[in-house]
Amino acid sequence: MNTDKQNIKKNSSKSIRISGAEAVIRSLLEEEANLVYGYPGGAIMPIYDELYKFQDKLHHVLTRHEQGATHAAQGYARTSGKVGVALATSGPGATNLVTGIADAQIDSTPMVCITGQVASNLLGSDAFQETDIIGISTPVTKWNYQITKASEIPEIMAKAFYIARSGRPGPVLIDITKDAQFEELDYSYKKCTGIRSYRPYPELSVDSLKKAVLLIEQAKKPFIVWGQGVILGRAEEEFKAFVEKSGIPAAWTILGLSALPTDHSSNRGMVGMHGNYAPNLLTNECDLLIAIGMRFDDRVTGSLNTYAKQAKVIHMELDPAEVNKNVHADVALIADCKISLKEITNRISNRKYPQWIDRFDELDAIENEKVIDGDLNPTKPGLTMGEAIQMINKHTNGDAIIVTDVGQHQMVACRYAKFNQSKSNVTSGGLGTMGFALPAAIGAKMGASEREVVAIIGDGGYQMTIQELGTIFQQKTAVKIVVLNNGFLGMVRQWQQLFFDKRYASTEMVNPDFVTIAKGYQLEANRVSKREDLDQAVKKMIDSDKPYFLEVCVEKEANVFPMIPTGASVSDIRLE
């Protein structure tokens, strides 16, 4: 067997005789995947043995749970723009990946997961730690495949990375039997550049482009809603040029946040259940709705029976399956938005809509008076989540990557965090996975090591993956962890208060001493509960060049407004 680890060549046509396990490692390096997250076990041990031999070229991060490996890989992918990689063994190791895989699927995050499997002669025999991970993961992967012969590894690995990163990105799972890892093959590698019948980048229709331009030129009250497609398509500059030339006000879904700087004059805030008052209400007043790289999720639209019925709709989308799925498009531009935005910007005229913009300003003033002032400049003695976010803005100048978990703190952070550059908002959008933020922040920091990374987490979600403090400790990853502690599963409690007559069933948390736990992992740690101490506490955290934990004790029963009740119209948005 060839044991020379120094001669790895890109797309090498010359074959070498190696094991399947070594072929996996060499294939990862061919795809420039030099950082992987995982947890070893019996069925994937041959791959880990080869990983040990290649540790000078491929850095492995030992997470404390396989779910943590997937979320860390997601965070890495979201900030680096590369494919995240996670490794796990068979059985429970593989099934523990499923939540992160499902999260990556619905949020279009490129990820390759590699699982070990029992030997091929044991498949279907209920062998120890055998699980049909292919069957289990089929609904939540972009593609999956089980390898039973070592000779399949180079081609399947190349396909896996191509499928994960091309078109609308997503997770791929490759399951490799243990005998295929030991078996030898004549190894050579060729990157995948295309697959028959798979068209990841549809060609833009010139006819549809002309129709879209005509609708824009005719509109009196146009409105843009953009999503993560702008970021995934690396189309931030094209999007900004379109917004500035068209003069059209624009709002974002939570995954689209940071594609356009927060303080840009055309950025009118967030749409959706806890979005801003003006963009939600005016969705049902605009005469043209331009949706870019978003999928009309129910948390954005509310009741589809009343959503933007008065408006013509232009839908710019890469994935044709998303067009006309929830909202009818009068014109669909099915193409890479980097291309379609550039083409449409070249064809439209410079426009301004002063009266329409005034309408946004009027509604913004109402929201400022009824909601935002109280969140950011409270008169009550208890700290608010909004104050904490505002203080983080002060000490990071809008240049930090903010990683959020799921719940009230997520909505508050998305509403009030400031962003100057793209790929700065990392959150679990479509699946809403509690426990996402802590491991995702590890990956986010490793994907953008030069940037400050602040994880903002609720006391409930924090405890779902709190063991990843061990990963931070071992890797010395300089993430800043802020737990906004209200002693409740806050979002569920808010719904119980508003819609279930304050029956707080199983939502109050009896929490441990988070500071003591953090110090047990040798992290710098602090707790703040008084307004006069918040500024200095946040400054000390941001000034540190090491991992840091800060617990902020906030009001126990504060609610997040505005709010659109489930199933209600966006016009039914509540300010209190």
Catalytic residues: 66, 128-129, 178, 491
CA distance 561 to 576: 6
The answer to whether 120 and 179 have CB atoms below 8 angstroms apart is yes
Q: Identify how many contiguous H helices and E strands the chain contains and give both numbers.
A: 24, 20
The tokens for 370 are 């009824």
CA distance 165 to 521: 35
CA distance 29 to 405: 31
The tokens for 101 are 């895989």
CA distance 408 to 396: 22
CA distance 404 to 233: 22
The answer to whether 303 and 573 have CB atoms below 8 angstroms apart is no
Please give the C-alpha separations between residue 85 and each of 35, 174, 250, 457, 480, in angstroms, as whole numbers.
7, 11, 34, 24, 23
β-strand 524-528 against 84-88: which pairing, if any?
Answer: unpaired
Percent of the chain that is helix, strand, coil (3-state, to 5): 40, 20, 40
Please give the C-alpha separations between residue 89 and each of 23, 132, 237, 282, 511, in angstroms, as whole numbers.
17, 12, 42, 50, 33
Please give the C-alpha separations between residue 157 and each of 96, 141, 257, in angstroms, as whole numbers.
22, 15, 32
377, burial (CB in 10 Å: exposed 0-12, middle 13-18, buried 19+):
exposed
CA distance 168 to 280: 27
CA distance 43 to 371: 54
Q: Where are the alpha helices (DSSP H) in 251-353?
A: 277-283, 298-301, 337-347
